[in-house]
């Protein structure tokens, strides 16, 4: 059947009245071609809440929205015209749009889970030539939090890698390398790093991995590498959760912060000096610690008080502070205390395992990339 697709922003014209005319036109066409499907992408461009700010300028959008509401009301539902719309910001939509008889059914499309990611990878992989024995489940497990578009990108990147290596089919290592490429950027083969820098990076990464492995609740290490990437990362530790997790306990959140501080802690222990290499770890650790205090009620002082509200649950979730500035400074103090405790924990784990730290770092320096199995084997060796 006919499918009409239009973007919300296409309705918003420079001249007043044009948007409304476009809506009328669209619905007239749809009536004539019924049964058919009308799809309005990015409907928030016209469907935003009408406000009373009074300043002109919004007139056009409002007229367009009013026209859309009128058309949807005047619709004969037996005619077989289905109207679909998509938005990333459902909370900004005008309530009138969501009333029964208009857009009355909502289908949230969230980030795919483990099963979803595997299925999405298979869909995209059907379009490329695959070698034997591809383990999609392993790739899906390594891409927790990836969107459909990113997964498509990974498959595409794997195909390019296969071509670049004169292979006629994509093999498992292409897909694995593609995951890293999409997450961390391309390998910088020609990058020149001094031996001293390499040593620091190796100890830093092993520091993360050791702290992770020595904490009961942390996910095992999948891979550690000190091959520099175009994203600027000089190395990284890839952790893979065994299964999809939705709930995170307080201990797990805390251990995660400790693992993030493990890189810096190793630098301190071995070189007695610190580098800029931990900037990303610092950001992540702070985000988790702050969320523990402000959103998850995992702090001593604030019990179950919401200190931050999520204003947009989609697209990464913007948050807004919902407390007095006095409380905000106490929150900061608590966040700092949490991170400090985690950092101390990481330091003491590394001190207790200093011999292993040296052994593993030397091995990593030699091999540049080691797998989780190799890591665990050395760690468990007496
Ligand atoms: Zn790090």
Strands, E assignment, 235-335? 236-239, 308-312, 318-321
Distance 195 CA to ligand 1 centre (A): 18
Sort strands 308-312 and 318-321 into parallel, antiparallel or unpaired: antiparallel
* For residue 351, pLDDT beyond 80: yes
How far does residue 19's CA lie from ligand 1's centre (Å)? Answer: 51
Whole-number Å distance between alpha carbons of 65 and 54:
17
Phi, psi of 283 (to 5 degrees): -60, -50
What are 221-258's pLDDT values in tens digits? 778 888 877 666 777 777 766 556 678 899 989 999 99
Distance between Cα 54 and ligand 1 center (Å): 50
Query: pLDDT tens, 202-230?
Result: 999 999 999 998 886 555 677 888 887 76
Measure 47 CA to ligand 1 centroid, in angstroms: 43
Q: What percent of the chain has pLDDT over 90?
A: 33
Is 90 exceeded by the pLDDT of residue 108?
no
Report the C-alpha gap between 95 and 108 in whole angstroms. Answer: 17
Buried b (16+ CB within 10 A) or exposed e, 235-270: bbbbbeeeeeeeebeeebbbbbbbbbbbbbbbbbbb
205 given a catalytic annotation: yes
Span from the CA of 188 to the centroid of ligand 1 (angstroms): 18
For position 203, what pLDDT does the model report?
95
322: pLDDT strictly greater than 90: no
266-282 mean pLDDT? 91
Determine the pLDDT at residue 164.
93
Question: How far is ligand 1, taken at its centre, from the CA of residue 264, in Å?
Answer: 7
**Catalytic member of 157, 205, 267, 334:** 205
Q: Which of 13-17, 118-122, 168-172, 202-206 has the lowest mean pLDDT?
A: 13-17
Give CA–CA dist 199/362, Å, rounded. Answer: 8
Check residue 157 and give its pLDDT.
92
Q: Report the alpha-carbon distance of residue 52 to residue 32 in Å, rounded.
A: 37
Cα–Cα distance for residue pair 372/221, rounded to 1 Å:
5
- For the segment 113-120, the average pLDDT, to the nearest whole number, is 90
| Cβ count within 10 A of residue 2 | 13
User: With contact defined as beta carbons under 8 Å apart, do 224 and 230 qualify?
Assistant: no
Per-residue pLDDT at 194 exceeds 70: yes
**Mean pLDDT of the region 287-314:** 84
Give me the percent of the chain exceeding a pLDDT of 70. 88
* Assigned token pair, 245: 């997790």
Distance from residue 207's CA to the centre of ligand 1 (Å):
8
Which residue has better confidence, 224 or 344?
Answer: 344
Average pLDDT over the chain, rounded to an integer: 84
pLDDT number for residue 345 = 96
- Report the separation in Å between the CA atom of 239 and the middle of ligand 1, taken as the mean of its atom positions: 12
pTM above 0.85, yes or no: no
Q: For the chain, what percentages of helix, strand and coil (3-state, to nearest 5) are there? A: 55, 10, 35
pLDDT tens, position by position, 140-184? 888 877 888 989 999 999 999 999 999 999 999 899 889 888 877
Q: What is the mean pLDDT of residues 80-106?
A: 85
Taking 80 as the threshold, does the pLDDT of residue 76 lie above it?
A: no
Residues 4 and 29: their CA atoms lie apart, in Å, by: 9
| Sign of the torsion formed by the C-alpha atoms of 107, 109, 113 and 115 | positive
The residues placing their C-beta within 5 Å of ligand 1, an ion, are: 263, 281
> CB–CB of 8/47 below 8 Å?
yes
Range of 49-53, 84-88, 159-163, 231-235 with top mean pLDDT: 159-163
Mean pLDDT for 40-68 is: 74
Distance 197 CA to ligand 1 centre (A): 14
362 with 346: CB under 8 angstroms? Answer: no
Q: Could you tell me the distance, in angstroms and rounded to a whole number, from the CA of residue 266 to the centre of ligand 1?
A: 10
Give me ligand 1 centre to Cα 324, in Å: 34
Given this model, what pLDDT does residue 94 score?
Answer: 84
Rounded to 10°, the helix 195-214/325-352 angle is: 100
Question: Could you tell me if 293 and 307 are in contact, meaning their C-beta atoms sit under 8 angstroms apart?
Answer: yes
């Amino acid at each position: 059947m006919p499918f009409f697709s239009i973007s919300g922003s296409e309705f918003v014209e420079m001249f007043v009245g044009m948007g409304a005319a476009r809506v009328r036109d669209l619905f007239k066409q749809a009536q004539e071609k019924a049964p058919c499907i009308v799809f309005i992408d990015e409907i928030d461009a016209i469907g935003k809440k009408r406000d009373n700010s009074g300043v002109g300028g919004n007139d056009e959008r409002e007229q367009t929205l009013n026209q859309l509401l009128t058309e949807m009301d005047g619709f004969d539902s037996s005619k077989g015209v289905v109207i679909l719309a998509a938005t990333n910001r459902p909370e900004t939509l005008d309530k009138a749009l969501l009333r029964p008889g208009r857009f009355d059914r909502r289908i949230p499309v969230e980030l795919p889970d483990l099963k979803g990611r595997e299925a999405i990878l298979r869909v995209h992989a059907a379009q490329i030539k695959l070698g034997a024995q591809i383990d999609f489940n392993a790739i899906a497990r390594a891409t927790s939090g990836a969107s459909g578009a990113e997964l498509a990108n990974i498959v595409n990147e794997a195909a390019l890698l296969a071509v670049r290596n004169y292979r006629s089919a994509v093999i498992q290592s292409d897909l694995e390398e593609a995951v890293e490429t999409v997450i961390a950027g391309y390998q910088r083969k020609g990058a020149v790093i001094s031996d001293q820098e390499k040593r620091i990076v190796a100890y830093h990464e092993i520091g993360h991995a050791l702290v992770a492995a020595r904490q009961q609740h942390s996910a095992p290490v999948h891979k550690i590498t000190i091959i520099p990437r175009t994203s600027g990362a000089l190395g990284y530790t890839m952790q893979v959760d065994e299964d999809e997790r939705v709930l995170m306990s307080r201990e797990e959140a805390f251990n995660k912060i400790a693992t993030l501080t493990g890189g810096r802690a190793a630098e301190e222990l071995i070189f007695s000096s610190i580098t800029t290499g931990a900037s990303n770890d610092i950001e992540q650790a702070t985000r988790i610690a702050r969320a523990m205090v402000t959103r998850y009620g995992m702090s001593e002082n604030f019990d179950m008080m919401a200190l931050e509200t999520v204003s947009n649950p989609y697209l990464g979730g913007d948050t807004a502070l919902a407390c007095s500035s006095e409380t905000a400074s106490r929150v900061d103090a608590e966040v700092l205390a949490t991170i400090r405790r985690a950092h101390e924990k990481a330091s003491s784990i590394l001190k207790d395992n200093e011999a292993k730290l040296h052994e593993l770092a030397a091995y990593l320096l030699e091999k540049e990339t080691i797998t989780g199995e190799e890591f665990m084997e050395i760690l468990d060796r007496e």
